[in-house]
Amino acid sequence: MDRPKFERKKTPEDIIFGVRAVIEAIKAGREINKIMIQKGMDNDLFRELKEALQGQQFTLQFVPIQKIDSLVQGNHQGVVAFVSPVEYGVIEDLIDTMLAEGKKPTILVLDRITDVRNFGAIARTAECQGVDAILIPSKGSALVTPDAVKTSAGALNRLKVCKTSDLKNSLFYMQQSGLRIVSCTEKSKIPMYEVNLRGSVAIILGSEESGISNDLLNMSDIKARIPMKGEIASLNVSVAAGMVLYEKTRQELYG
């Protein structure tokens, strides 16, 4: 009796594997979301990779070799890199350009939102409501992956996504550039419809587990909540994004 045959999954298109290939991707400035490295790896190639990673801000994960084997069909040498399908922007440069062109930026800031499908759904709504860019932290956040692009119905190919290593500093830059910082939080007593959302604003949404971090709340110009009548005290973050962004559109279109 023949043994059943098990086929390994085809290597996803967003993965680069092999030490040399990953090093070349780093040197070429490819947008890399995350690098997985085999636990306990210590050889000449690994030391060369460590040298290439010096001064970089990539998210690194050290995992068992079985994890990498399950992802890659080929000689991975204990290293895989997940490449972003889009090029990330720099929020400070984008703000400068928009203000120089006389535009009033609308920036959606996502604080520690880790679910890629929520991220994709938020991006879809943001594009529909005329958001100029989404700002996310480099670490501790969902990044642009093929799943996120699919969930966004392609919106992530049209909407600028910016990464920052320090959300607080980037928000301060926007504040100093004339944007009002609005935090959407249930900790506020002010309903969202009483807040002026017209013009240049940065709207912050936080994780469903812990909300917006205190540092960002404290530097906000205003904190506002979405009014609710039910007993469940929280909304899915992608639904909250839709409600807040619709309120901004309503104010700008109908006063």
- Per residue in 203-251, pLDDT (tens digit) is 999 988 888 999 999 999 999 999 988 877 678 999 999 999 999 999 9
Cα–Cα distance, 227 to 191 (Å, whole number): 6
- Does 56 share its domain with 111? no
**Cβ atoms 33, 82 nearer than 8 A:** yes
pLDDT at residue 58, rounded to an integer: 82
Tell me what pLDDT residue 5 has. Answer: 40
Sheet holding 59-63, edge to edge: 15-17, 79-83, 32-38, 59-63
Quick check: 190 pLDDT over 50?
A: yes
The residue-averaged pLDDT of 32-42 equals 89
Residue of 118, 30, 227, 9 lying closest to 134 (CA atoms): 118
How sure is the predictor about 140, in pLDDT bands with cuts at 50, 70 and 90? confident
- What domain range is 107 assigned to? 91-254
Two structure tokens written together for 146 = 């093929």
Give 60 or 106, the one with higher predicted confidence: 106
Per-residue confidence (pLDDT) for residue 54, from 0 to 100: 86
Residue 49 and residue 45: Cα distance in Å, rounded? 6
Pair 139, 232 in one domain? yes
CA atoms within 13 A on the CB side of 90: 5
Quote the CA–CA distance of 141 and 207 in Å, as a whole number: 9
- Rounded to the nearest integer, the mean pLDDT of the chain is 89
Provide the pLDDT confidence category of residue 30 given band limits of 50, 70 and 90: confident
Which position has the token pair 């699919």? 150
Q: What is the side-by-side strand order in the sheet with 222-224?
A: 160-164, 133-137, 106-111, 201-206, 180-184, 222-224
Residues 52 and 116: beta-carbon distance below 8 Å:
no
**Structure confidence at residue 73 (pLDDT):** 79
pLDDT at 91 over 90: yes
Do 170 and 55 fall within a single domain? no
Residue 243 lies in a domain: yes
pLDDT above 90 (res 198):
yes
DSSP conformation class of 162: E
Instruction: Kindly compute the dihedral angle of the four CA atoms of residues 23, 29, 31, 32, in this order, to the nearest 10 degrees.
Output: 20
Residue 193 sits in a domain whose CATH number is: 3.40.1280.10
* Overall domain count for the chain: 2
What is the CATH classification number for the domain harbouring 44?
A: 3.30.1330.30
Question: Once rounded to an integer, what is the mean pLDDT over residues 167-174?
Answer: 97
Answer whether residue 189 shows pLDDT above 80: yes
Interval 171-180 mean pLDDT: 97
Expressed in angstroms, the distance from the first to the final Cα of the chain is 75
Q: What is the pLDDT, as a whole number, of residue 1?
A: 42
**Domain closes at, from 51, 83, 115:** 83
Residue 12 has a pLDDT of: 54
User: Per the domain annotation, does 8 fall within a domain?
Assistant: no
Report the helix count and the strand count for the chain, using DSSP H and E.
9, 10
> How much is the pTM?
0.86
Return the SS3 of 191. strand
Please name the helix (run of DSSP H) or strand (run of DSSP E) that holds residue 214, with its range, or none: helix 214-219
pLDDT at 4 (0 to 100): 41
Residue 43 in this model has a pLDDT that exceeds 90: no
